[in-house]
Amino acid sequence: MTTTPARILVVDDEESILQFVSYNLRKEGYEVTVAADGDTALALAAENPFDLIVLDIMLPGTDGYEVCRRLRASSDTPVLFLSARDTELDKVVGLELGGDDYLAKPFGVRELIARVKALLRRSAGRAKEGADEARTLKAAGIKLDEGSHLAYHGDTEIDLTPREFELLACLMRHAGRVLSREQLLKEAWEWQYVVETKTVDTHIKRLRDKLAAAGVDPAVVETVRGYGYRLAT
């Protein structure tokens, strides 16, 4: 049986990097599309379903952070950030916006391919798990369908980004239990390493705002001081 190759969008304004990355990904058998700026990348992503996006941060016009933010409003396609900036703050910002991994320039072929394969495996595993074990969660007056990625309070849909949905699903799976910020980062978003746990606080605030807009008492997401959060049952 023929396996369809993964489709990867590579976005970078440096021609040498664009050629280096796309050439080596094609050698691995992937189908690669390239873009040299953020606006072109967004247009391509809107027209075509990609399995992974390799995204430079420093782009002309719409930068990589903004591209990722817009993508995350409607898509959970894995994003691998590329950047010459390698500070912890840069990584935190990228991951908070919905990035899945971060590769600092300069990088070697082996590390690039290893990161790409890991993200594609993780994404495929989530898709298979969703197909095999899709379930409906109910807690605190909220109904959440993990298969369709929709959540409701009564007949009102709760407008959630993919990151917010994953966070709420994790809290609902463990309703009544206190989860640390580290647990939420690793279980809800599958971050391989914890860089800054305060990002959880930012997303919890946004989640509470979304719950309140749908008529849910935001206090159902309880803060356990000095530890983490719990969804009241």
Burial of 176 (0-12, 13-18, 19+ CB in 10 A): exposed
Task: Answer whether CATH 1.10.10.10 is correct for domain 134-231.
Answer: yes
- The C-alpha atoms of residue 206 and residue 200 are separated, in whole angstroms, by 10
For residues 163-175, give the mean pLDDT.
91
Considering 2-6, 83-87, 117-121, 123-127, the range whose residues carry the highest mean pLDDT is 117-121
Q: Name the β-bridge partners of 167.
A: none
Structure tokens, 133: 């074990």
For residues 153-163, give the mean pLDDT.
90
For residues 140-147, give the mean pLDDT.
90
pLDDT band of 228, cuts 50, 70, 90: very high
Q: Name the β-bridge partners of 229.
A: 179, 223
Structure tokens, 162: 């993919």
Contact of 107 with 24, CB cutoff 8 Å: no
CATH of domain 7-131: 3.40.50.2300
> What percentage of the chain has pLDDT greater than the value 70?
88
Nearest in space to 192 (alpha carbons), one of 70, 69, 99: 99
Q: CA distances (Å), 68 to each of 18, 39, 109, 191, 213, in order? A: 18, 11, 24, 16, 25
pLDDT of residue 132: 44
For residues 189-210, give the mean pLDDT.
77
| Domain boundaries, given as residue ranges, for the chain | 7-131, 134-231
pLDDT of residue 43: 95
The per-residue b/e assignment along 14-27, b for 16 or more CB within 10 angstroms, e otherwise, is: beebbebbbebbee
Of the two residues 93 and 232, the one the predictor is more confident about is 232
